[in-house]
Amino acid sequence: MGHFITLEGSEGSGKSTQFRLLQTYLASRGVRVLATREPGGTSIGEQIRAVLHDVGNDALRPRAEVLLYAAARAQLVEQVIRPALAAGTVVICDRYVESTLAYQGYGRGLDLAALLEITRFATGGLRADQVIYLDLPVEVGLERKRLAHEREHAEITRMDQQALEFYRRVRAGYLALAAQEPERWCVLDAQQSIEAVQAQIRQCVAALLASGGDVRS
Ligand code: TMP
C-alpha cells in the first residue's frame, strides 16, 4: 500500500508551486509518485470543478456546493487514488477532505459532523497519512494572489470572491483541525522563501516515507 500525502493551504500560500516541486523531487529520488488535485483529477471531476469555479454560479448554495466537492472526490478516490495506492504508488493530492472541513465547515458554517459523514461516504473512509498545511495571514495571502492575477492574468474563480471574514474563518479552521491531530499534520509557515518551505515539506515527507523505505537519502 502506497502512502497518501495531501497539501492544503489558504489563498496565496504558494501551494501549487510547492506541489510541483515536491512531485519533481520525489520522482527524481526514484519514488513512484502520482500527483492529482481536487476538485478535479478525473474527466468527470474536472467538469464538476468548472461548475464550482464558474463566477456565474453565485446562486450555488452551500449544501449543493459541498455535495459537488464530495461527488468529484468520490470519483477521484475510486478511479485514481485507491488503485494507485494499491499498486504501492505514493499519491500526492493538491487539497482533499480537510479543504471541505475548512472551507465548507469553518468558512460556510456547515455542521462539521455532517461534513465528516458526507466525506466518509464519498471516500469510503480513505484519509491522508500526512496533511501538509501551508499557513499564512489572510491579508498577505490575498495580496499575493491579487498580484499573481495581475501578473499572469489568471482566471478569477467563484471561490476567489469571498469576504475577508470567510478566509479568516477558513484559516482558523485549518489551525483548529491541525491542533486536533498534530501527528498527522505538518503546519508550515508559508511566508518563508520557496526554498525554505520546500525543504520543510521534504523533511515531513521523508519522515513518513522512511518507514516504507521509499526515499533513498
Ligand atoms: P485551488 O485550485 O487554488 O486550490 O482552489 C480551489 C478552491 O476550492 C479553493 O478556494 C478551496 C476550494 N475548495 C473548497 O472550498 N472545498 C473543497 O473541498 C475543495 C477541495 C476545495
Judge if the beta carbon of residue 12 lies within 6 A of ligand 1: no
pLDDT tens, position by position, for the chain (217 residues)? 899 999 999 889 999 999 999 999 999 999 999 999 999 999 999 999 999 999 999 999 999 999 999 999 999 999 999 999 999 999 999 999 999 999 999 999 999 999 999 999 999 999 999 999 999 999 999 999 999 888 888 778 898 889 999 999 999 999 999 999 999 999 999 999 999 999 999 999 999 998 764 554 4
CA of 87 to the centre of ligand 1 (A): 28
Tell me which amino acid residue 86 is.
A
Q: Supply the Cα-derived Rg of the chain in whole angstroms.
A: 17
Substitution site in 103, 106, 134 for ligand 1 pocket (most atoms within 8 Å of beta carbon): 103
CA of 200 to the centre of ligand 1 (A): 23
| Separation between Cα atoms, residue 179 and residue 175, nearest integer Å | 6
Dump pLDDT digits (tens) for 64-98: 999 999 999 999 999 999 999 999 999 999 999 99
**Which residue is associated with the grid cell 498527522?**
184
CA of 39 to the centre of ligand 1 (A): 7
Judge if the beta carbon of residue 39 lies within 6 A of ligand 1: yes
- pTM for this structure? 0.95
Tell me which amino acid residue 11 is.
E
Substitution site in 73, 95, 160, 166 for ligand 1 pocket (most atoms within 8 Å of beta carbon): 95
| Separation between Cα atoms, residue 94 and residue 37, nearest integer Å | 4
| Separation between Cα atoms, residue 154 and residue 62, nearest integer Å | 25
| Separation between Cα atoms, residue 34 and residue 150, nearest integer Å | 31
Taken in order 123, 106, 12, 25, is the CA torsion positive or negative? negative
